[in-house]
Chains A and B, each alone.
Chain A
C-alpha cells in the first residue's frame, strides 16, 4: 500500500484526463464496442466507451456506484431496450455482427448473451422448470429426455446438481440465496449462450456462497465469455483476466487485471483501488 501511495505522483494520467487509458483492444475479441453512448432521456449516463471483450475471458467492470457499469453491461444484450426513453448509440458487434441496430432481433441475441442479475431471481416455478424454460422456448430439446439431459448438465455445470437432484419438482424460490443464484446461472447456461453477463452476482450473498460462485465463474470461463460487474475489487482480482474501471460514465482505464491492480496508469484508478473513494 505504501508503495502505491508513494507512487501516486508518478501516475502519468491525472484526474482530469477523461479518455480511456490502457489497451482496450483484444487479440481475439468476441464483442467489440466503439463510441458507445447511453442516454436516459437527457442524462448522458455512459460516454464514448471503446472496449473489446476477449473470447473465453472474464472481464470485470469496476467503479463507484452510479458510474454506469450496469448501464453499459445491459447494452451487450440489449436489456436497455426495456427501459423507456433509454437510448444507446455507437457500434457494438459480436463476432463481427452488429448487435446494436434497430433491425437486430433481440430474442436470439439474448439467447446468445445470457444474463445473471444482482438479486437472484428464479421464476416462481419448480427447479426443473426454471432451467427447462429457456431450452423449451428456444426449441433446443427435441424430446422430454433431451430436455432432462440439458437440465441435468446445466445444473451440473452450475455446481448445483448434487444439492438439488432429489428436489427438482420443488420451488426454485425455496433454495438458499447462493443456491438460487447458481440456479439462475444454470438457467442461463441451459440455453447454451456464448457470453454471460453478470451484474454484481454476489452482492446479495454470504462469503461462502460468494466463494462458490467465484469458483464457478473460473470454471465457466473455459466454455463462455464472461463480463462481470462487481463492487468488490478482491473479487475482480480473483476471477477476472481483464479489468475495466468506470468513473462518472467514462471508461477510465482498462487492462490486464494484474496490471490494473498493481500498476494503475490513471490517478483515479489508483485512488479507487486503494480505497480513497468509492
Chain B
C-alpha cells in the first residue's frame, strides 16, 4: 500500500467531487420521474380512449324507442267467439291490432311495397306486449287505448341516428325516416329504459336480445371457479409452504405449478373436453364444466400468490405462536393466515378476473352455443359474458353493434363489483397496526 492512501482526503476535496457528480445524479432522477409520469399519463390516455369509445358506442343500448299507438282491442280479432278462453286469447294475432292502428295514422300509404314497410315498423315484441295486456285484463277487449309499443330495431337505429350516414340509407330507410318525423311531430315517440336488455337471454332479434343469460352463466361459472379454486388453492399453498418437507418431490411439484400457470388457457379447454365431458360425461355447455375448466386454469395462480403471501409473514410471528405451545395448525390459522389474507386476495382477484374474461377454453367445451333460456342450474346450457360479446360482435345486424359495447360495459361492471368485494376483504384484514 502506498503512503498516499493513508493520508486523509481534505474536506474541500471530497466536497468538490460530490458537488461535481451532483448535477448528473439530479438529472438522472429528473429523467426517471419524467419517464414514470409519462407512462402513467399514456396509460390513463389509453384507458380514457377505451372507456370513451365503449361507453359512447354502448350507452344507447340501454334505451329503446317506443311509439304511442291508439290500439283498438277488436273483439273480432282477439276473441271472435267471445268465450274469453285463455287459450284463444293467447293464440290471437295481436300484430293485426297495431298494424291497423298504424294504417289509421298513415292513411295515404297504399303501395304494396310501402305497406310492407309499414307492417315492419313495430318490433318483434309489440305482439307479446299486447298479448300480456289482454291476458292480464280481458275487459280491455272492445275498448281503445293509447299504448306505448317498442319499434323494430332498424327503426330504433334510425331514431338514435345510428344509421345516419347518407350512403347507407336506401329508399326504405328514407320512407321510415319520413314516418318517424311525422310521429315525432305528434309527440308519439319516446325512448325508455331498455329493460329487456337486462332481463332477457340471447335472441336472434336484437331488440329482444338481453345480457341476463350471459350474466347468470358467468355468475354460475364463477361460483364454481371461486368455490373450488380458492379453498383448494389456499389449502395447497398452506400445505406446501408450512407442512410439506423440502425434498425432490416438493421441488418437482413447485416447478410444475409454475409451469401450469404459464400454460395457454385453450389447452385447459381441451383438457376439460377430454376429461369432464368425454370421460366423466358431464353435460356440455354447462357452467359446471366451465367452472371446472376455469378452476384448473386459476388454481396455479392462486397457489403461487398464496405461497408468496404466506412466505412473507415474518418468522417472528411463527416463533411467538409456537413458543407458547400453539400447534402448527393453530399457528397457521390463528396467526399466519390472517396476515397472509391481503396477499392471497390479490392473487385471487388476478386469477378470477382472468377467469371471468376468459373465452377460449369455454369455446372448447361448447359454451359458445346460441342459448336463449336463462340458465337455472349448474348443469343447464349456458354461455358467459365474454363469449356473448364475441357472438354479438359477429352478428350482422346494426343493433348488435351497440349491444356488444353495452355487454362489454356490463362485463366491466361485473369485474368492478368483484374487485370491490375483494378489496373490501383485503382492507378488513390489512394489518392495521
Contacts and interface: CB of A to CB of B under 8 A. Distances in A.
Interface of A: 77, 79, 82, 84, 106-111, 114-115, 117, 119, 121-124, 133-134, 137-138, 171, 173-174, 184, 187-188, 190-191
B173 interface: no
B433 A124 contact: yes
B320 A122 contact: yes
A111 B319 contact: no
Given A119-B316, A121-B320, 7 more contacts: A79-B322, A111-B324, A117-B319, A123-B320, A124-B317, A134-B325, A187-B324
Contacts of A106: 325
Interface of B: 245-246, 316-327, 330, 334-335, 339, 431-433
Contacts of A110: 322-325
A138 B325 CA distance: 8
A124 B432 CA distance: 8
28 contacts: A79-B323, A84-B245, A84-B246, A107-B326, A107-B327, A110-B325, A111-B324, A114-B323, A115-B324, A117-B319, A117-B320, A117-B323, A119-B316, A121-B316, A121-B317, A122-B320, A123-B317, A123-B320, A123-B321, A124-B339, A134-B324, A134-B325, A137-B327, A137-B334, A171-B432, A184-B320, A190-B324, A191-B325
For B319, B320, B431, the residue with the greatest tally of chain A CB atoms inside 10 Å of its CB is B320
Contacts of A122: 320
A213 to B, nearest CB: 17
Nearest to A172: B433
Contacts of B245: 84
Majority secondary structure, B binding face: helix
Contacts of A171: 432-433
A114 B325 CA distance: 8
Contacts, number: 69
B316 A117 contact: yes
A111 B433 contact: no
Given A82-B318, A117-B316, A173-B433, A133 B323 contact: no
Nearest to B431: A124
Contacts of B319: 79, 82, 115, 117, 121
A133 B317 contact: no
Contacts of A134: 324-325
A109 B324 CA distance: 9
A155 B335 CA distance: 21
A191 B317 CA distance: 18
Contacts of A115: 319, 323-324
A119 B432 CA distance: 20
Contacts of A82: 318-319, 322
A171 B431 CA distance: 10
Contacts of B246: 84
Given A84-B246, A124-B317, A111 B322 contact: no
Contacts of B433: 124, 171, 173-174
A137 B320 CA distance: 14
Contacts of B317: 121, 123-124
Given A82-B318, A117-B316, A137-B330, A123 B323 contact: no
B84 to A, nearest CB: 70
A173 B318 CA distance: 16
Contacts of A123: 317, 320-321, 335
A188 B431 contact: no
A108 to B, nearest CB: 7
Nearest to B334: A133
A82 B319 CA distance: 9
A184 B325 CA distance: 14
B343 to A, nearest CB: 15
B323 A188 contact: yes
A34 B317 CA distance: 31
Top 10 A-B pairs ranked by shortest CB distance?
A: A171-B433, A111-B325, A110-B325, A121-B316, A115-B323, A134-B324, A121-B320, A173-B433, A107-B325, A107-B327
Nearest to B433: A171
Nearest to B316: A121
A101 B247 CA distance: 24
B323 A77 contact: yes
For A82, A114, A173, the residue with the greatest tally of chain B CB atoms inside 10 Å of its CB is A82
For B318, B320, B325, the residue with the greatest tally of chain A CB atoms inside 10 Å of its CB is B325
B325 A108 contact: yes
B316 A133 contact: no
Contacts of B339: 124
A268 B410 CA distance: 78
A171 B246 CA distance: 35
A184 B324 CA distance: 10
A188 B316 contact: no
Given A84-B246, A171-B432, A171-B433, A191 B324 contact: yes
B333 to A, nearest CB: 11
A106 to B, nearest CB: 8
A117 B317 CA distance: 11
Contacts of B431: 124
Contacts of B335: 123
A111 B318 CA distance: 15
Contacts of A121: 316-317, 319-320
Contacts of A191: 324-325
